[in-house]
Amino acid sequence: MSFPTKIFPFFLLFLLIHPLQAVPSIIPLNGSCTDKCGSIVLKYPFGSGFGCGHPTFSRFIKCTYGVLQFSTGTGIYTISTLDYTTNTLVLTDPFMSTCSSMQNSGSFNLDRSTPFSIMKENIFVLLGCSTTSAVFDPKQDLCNTGSGSNVCRGLYSCKGVTGIGLEPNAPISTCCVYDPPVLIGSGYGLNLPRLQCSSYSSIYGFGGDEGDPMKWQYGISLQYNNSYFTDNSCKNCEDSGGICGFSGSDESFACICRNGVNTTINCFGRGYAWSGTWRHKIQTEMSIGGILFFWMMLFI
């Protein structure tokens, strides 16, 4: 028997024992993707965590213990409502002041890289500001002194103002309905220390009664970019009962099926599918085959 002929059986044995060790899973399993987070239904481009939904949204949105959260450079906020018909969502800042509870707040910042923008109907109110703050500079024109004065009077009539060191119905000279001349949207920043203000409130609706601040709707209303359906891949996936997500270093589309198998198209069996469970079974069966082949070679 020639040398190449002697080597071939052992080479074949090596391939059988290690058939898939060097082949990575094309689409890693992701059992954490769900279509609900608490009471909020999740639809593309939103997802419950990394690998779920659209990759751009996944950087800012995640579901933690049944609470849908939105992350920015200034903190983590709870998403209280999500409306797919209007492409809007409302954030709740636990440190933001409302009529019933006022306290020192942190800043709020919305990065330019996000697919979200602040709704123009949203009203930001700066509370407990220093009279030397730049917001009161008449040359800057940063405060709405028209209808905004009614909003300030409403908030300063609340008993909650004691939380920022004021008495109910205090003079509104330290309140500002923040109305900068630049367009509010992505890249918006509210830096309270720089503005020399103690707290802020955000109002996205008056609840049908502008005279009663207890009925006002407090939160930060955002609109999201819904131009991420570039083809029918996600629709086909959802129609088959799957959840749209992504995988790999290139963050390519993945349809995450409820049976633990991820595919590149849908859960009806079309497209490339790879399961970590199947991979383990194939490796085990091939390894057993390699051992049997080895014993056969001993008796040849």
Highest mean pLDDT among 107-121, 122-136, 170-184: 122-136
As a whole number, the mean pLDDT across the chain is 80
* Domain range enclosing 203: 73-224
Tell me, what's the pLDDT at 109? 87
Q: Is residue 234 part of a domain?
A: no
- 75 pLDDT exceeds 60? yes
pTM: 0.76
Q: Is residue 65 part of a domain?
A: no
- 96 pLDDT exceeds 90? yes
- 27 pLDDT exceeds 60? no
- 290 pLDDT exceeds 90? no
Q: Which of 175, 182, 168, 165 is nearest to 196 (CA)?
A: 175
Asked if 135 contacts 232 with a C-beta cutoff of 8 angstroms, the reply is no
Q: Is residue 197 part of a domain?
A: yes
Q: Is residue 151 part of a domain?
A: yes
Tell me, what's the pLDDT at 287? 43
Q: Is residue 121 part of a domain?
A: yes
Tell me, what's the pLDDT at 13? 47
| CA 184, 185, 191, 197 torsion-angle sign | positive
Q: Is residue 45 part of a domain?
A: no
Q: Which residue has the higher pLDDT, 104 or 262?
A: 104
Instruction: Compute the average pLDDT of residues 166-183.
Output: 86
Q: How many domains does the chain have?
A: 1
- 184 pLDDT exceeds 80? no
Alpha helices in the chain, H assignment, sequence order: 3-17, 55-58, 148-156, 192-195, 233-239, 276-298
Q: Is residue 259 part of a domain?
A: no
Instruction: Compute the average pLDDT of residues 110-115.
Output: 84
Confidence of residue 70 (pLDDT cuts 50, 70, 90): very high
Q: Which residue has the higher pLDDT, 187 or 144?
A: 144
Asked if 92 contacts 77 with a C-beta cutoff of 8 angstroms, the reply is yes
Q: Is residue 154 part of a domain?
A: yes
The Cα–Cα gap between 160 and 295 comes to 82
